[in-house]
Structure 1
Amino acid sequence: MSKSLQAPFRYDVVGSLKRSQALKDAEAKLFARKLAIADFADIQRAETKKIVQKQASLGFHAVTDGEFNRSWWHLDFLWGLGGTERYDYQQSYKFKDSKTRTDNVRLAGKIHYNPTHPFFTSFKYFNSVTPDGVLAKQTIPSPTLLFRDNRSDNWSKFYDSWDEYLTDVAKAYHETIQHFYDLGCRYLQQDDTTWAFLISKLNATKDQPDEHAKYVKLCEDAVKLINQELKGLPADLTITTHICRGNFKSTYLFSGSYDVIAKYLGQLNYDGFFLEYDNKRSGGFEPLKDIYNGRPNIRIVLGLITSKFPELENPDDVKARIKEASQYVPLDKLALSTQCGFASTEEGNKVTEDQQWKKLELVRDIARDVWGDAD
């Protein structure tokens, strides 16, 4: 890999990829008790290796494991933290025109680092099959996911103060990320739907001062929590975030411009921001100026190619949007990706594997045309 290349790269992969048919078949046999756990693990590893090799063959400088080691983009990781437990939420997440399963996570004690988190074993294998000169990009949910959906409603059962709880969450995440680094990880991304949730809440409560203040406080707490977990991590570890608006069977959860949260994103000590911009629900590019905030060492990755539908975007239209965005952030500080992954849950979006690869090829080809240093 050229020393001039910088993560996040000019063309990058957000995270999840469509589960292969072999993996789906193996999982069905596992749940039907027709396949041993060890045999399922062998198939999962083999399919992960294939997905890594495919991304690398397309020229991507960072690859993901497709999130083949999990059922949900967020819950499997959160279940692996110390002090959490799995439970039945008894209601699905409110995606437009679609219902999810009712799994959730909640506090069962004080949050702490788990040295045997199953993602560590998965990463060791993933990193071992990633080709030389390519980065193994680890994705995990943001710690802000422990703010919402009843996951920390009982915090006072275990903590004397909310700040004490946030401190433990930050510490557990910091130690977890440090261990990924010790295992060889040099590129990690925190996926975050909480900011999109806050966009919707800030807009909905703008005429309700007391309610609005509650969500402003959550924005401030999110900045505090994230920056606290990131403080003191190795300088050669690139950490980005993906601001997600929900992704389940090609549907979504949240809408609204980034303008109401831009100043908070501009305070986060990430190295890059993957931002959804595949349709009008995301608003215009003006907030990019505040998100970028003049910082010379970050890169904003524009999610202009949708992962939700198979139709390929017109390259000229995408290039025109990149040019428009460059009015607010220097072109040198921009990059391109799909707006989200292709299978944030094991069900996946309404695209085929072949259509998924064509989308990623489009991202690559446009980036190569726009930026001379894409490769």
Structure 2
Amino acid sequence: MTPRVTPPFRADHVGSLLRPPALRRAREDFAKSLISGEELGTAEDAAIREVVELQRAAGLRSATDGEFRRASWHMDFIHRLRGIGKSERKLRVTFHNADGDVEFTPAGLEVTGKIGLDDVVFGEHFAFLKSIVDPSVTPKQTIPSPSMVYYRGGRAAVDETVYPDLEEFYEDLAKAYAEEIAGLAALGCTYLQLDDTSLAYLNDPEQRAMVARMGGDPDKQHVRNIATMNAALRGRPAGVRVTTHLCRGNFRSSWVAEGGYDFVADALFSELDVDGYFLEFDDERSGGFEPLRLVPEGKYVVLGLVTTKRGELESVDSLRRRIDKAARYVDLGQLCLSPQCGFSSTEEGNDLTLDEQKAKLERVVETAALVWG
């Protein structure tokens, strides 16, 4: 089978990677005012150079900066949009794992002004990444989907004196994202990923009940989110390949939601204007592959079969068997392989070692080569 020359690649990964000890120490020292912002930046640059080389050496065709300059995969971005500030009210999210529950309490957000874009968020991050990647590797930029702005607070977080009509809020949000996408493209970005937990969460009846409590329409929130994403992507510069990543929560090897993709699958695959979908399929919480029958020709599904929540390494045979099962519902040529999520959606990271992370990235590349050539 012909190797893919444009993203998503047969062997790919979601984005975030475990922070190395030296970077962790630098961030702690900066928080204690023991080093300057410039010194922290130098430490981040060094760590990113190393992790970009790790990805190249593993055989990956794409590379991210590991999200090493962020504390959180999404809130660092959202709080830089004009009109959105940090709320004194903490968000409270309960994550689950085999040993019990973990509480995640990041700063909330509040929309107190018209949403807009003052500069390209993470533009300087991407420019550095692009300057250091090998010519054979495509630099990939990850940003949270616009859906996450509403999903992190609902109607209560949007000042009604600023946006008495939520449709105006969604319109301004999409415009800001369109400017962001154009700005990244101007910096040379050809591979962009919109990370979106809402479209996976909404498969879970408990999450739909939460949306109702937030003032949304639980039966149509996914359609509203897709419409906002499409408005942001409409008119995107030629040559920019866009994927979205769906996940049910990823914090310290724990998760929030469960359920297959059935509830959102029709709109997700037929209406969302992206080139590919990174889908979580690492355990029974993700449901079966049956919804993939709705994927149209020309779109790609990156099967997240390698878990980032545990260090145990999946066998090549087990991965090939699961790829074969997925191929019963969508053509093998439309499939790719990756870990199911990032390894470190927040700076705390998941419960596995740097060596285990490296082995998993290499296993993705090894398996993809055997399946697709």
**Which residue number corresponds to residue 199 of structure 2?**
195
2:140 pairs with 1:131: no
Secondary structure (helix, strand or coil) at the match of 1:287 reads helix
**Distance in 2 of aligned mates of 1:51 and 1:347:** 17
Tell me the number of residue pairs that the alignment of Structure 1 and Structure 2 aligns: 364
Deviations 1:57-90 (A, max 9, x none): 2111100100001000000010111111122433
- Unaligned runs of at least 5 residues, structure 2: none
- Aligned residue runs from structure 1 range 43-192, under 5 A: 43-96=43-96, 97-115=101-119, 117=121, 119-150=122-153, 152-153=155-156, 154-192=158-196
Where does residue 336 of structure 1 map in the other structure?
A: 337
Shift of 1:149: 2.9
Q: How much has 1:121 moved relative to structure 2? A: 1.1
Offset, 1:141 = 0.4
**Which deviates further from its counterpart, 35-44 or 196-205?**
196-205
Q: Secondary structure at the match of 2:71?
A: coil
Q: Secondary structure at the match of 1:86?
A: strand
Q: What CA distance in whole angstroms lies between the structure 2 residues aligned with 1:43 and 1:213?
A: 43
Structure 2 Cα separation of the partners of residues 364 and 152 of structure 1: 43
2:182 and 2:236 in contact (8 A); partners too? yes
1:125-170 deviations in Å (ceiling 9; x for gaps):
1111111121110000000001223255224221241111111000
Task: Give the percent of matched residue pairs that are identical in Structure 1 and Structure 2.
Answer: 38
Q: Which amino acid aligns with 2:191?
A: Y
Trace 1:276-295 onto structure 2 (pairs within 5 A). 276-290=280-294, 292=295, 294-295=296-297
Deviates more, 1:148-157 or 1:261-270: 148-157
Query: Shift of the alpha carbon at 1:202?
Result: 7.5
Residues 274 and 300, structure 1, Cα contact 8 Å, conserved in 2: yes
1:289 shift after superposition: 1.3
For 1:275, which of 279, 293, 318 is the aligned residue? 279
| C-alpha displacement of 1:341 | 0.6
| Cα distance change of structure 1 residues 91 and 6 upon mapping to structure 2, 3 Å threshold | closer
TM-score, structure 1 length as denominator?
0.93
Q: CA deviation at 1:210?
A: 12
The match for 2:236 is: 233
Structure 1 residues 41 and 17, CA gap change in structure 2 (3 angstroms): same
Q: Which amino acid is the alignment partner of residue 295 of structure 1?
A: E
In 2, are the aligned partners of 1:104 and 1:151 still within 8 Å (CA)? no
Which piece of structure 1 moves more, 173-182 or 51-60? Answer: 51-60
CA–CA distance in structure 1, aligned partners of residues 254 and 322 of structure 2: 23
Match of 2:321 in 1: 320
2:223 alignment counterpart: 220
The one-letter amino acid paired with 1:361 is E
Q: Does the 8 A contact of 1:113 with 1:172 survive in 2? A: yes
Structure-2 change in CA distance of 1:210 and 1:315 (3 Å) = same
More divergent stretch after superposition (158-167 vs 358-367): 158-167
Q: Residue 202 of structure 1 contacts residue 260 of structure 1 at CA under 8 Å; is this kept in 2?
A: no
1:252 corresponding residue in structure 2? 255
RMSD: 2.0
Aligned to 1:23: 23
Higher mean displacement: 195-204 or 163-172:
195-204
Contact 1:106-1:152 within 8 A present in 2 as well: no
Deviations 1:207-262 (A, max 9, x none): xx999992122122112111111111122100000001100000001100101110
Q: Whole-Å Cα distance in 2 between the matches of residues 339 and 304 of structure 1?
A: 6
Q: In the TM superposition, what are the counterparts of 1:32-51 in structure 2 within 5 Å? A: 32-51=32-51
Q: Give the Cα–Cα distance (whole angstroms) in 2 for the partners of residues 162 and 204 of structure 1.
A: 19
Matched letter for residue 256 of structure 1 = G
Contact 2:155 2:215 in 1 (8 A): no
CA distance in 1, matches of 2:364, 2:358: 10
Residues 175-222 of structure 1 deviation map (CA, whole Å, 9 limit, x = unaligned): 0011001001100001101112211138866xxx99999212212211
- Tell me how far apart the structure 2 counterparts of residues 126 and 55 of structure 1 sit (CA, whole Å): 13
> In structure 2, what is the Cα distance between the partners aligned to 1:16 and 1:138?
11
Deviation at 1:295, TM superposition (A): 2.7
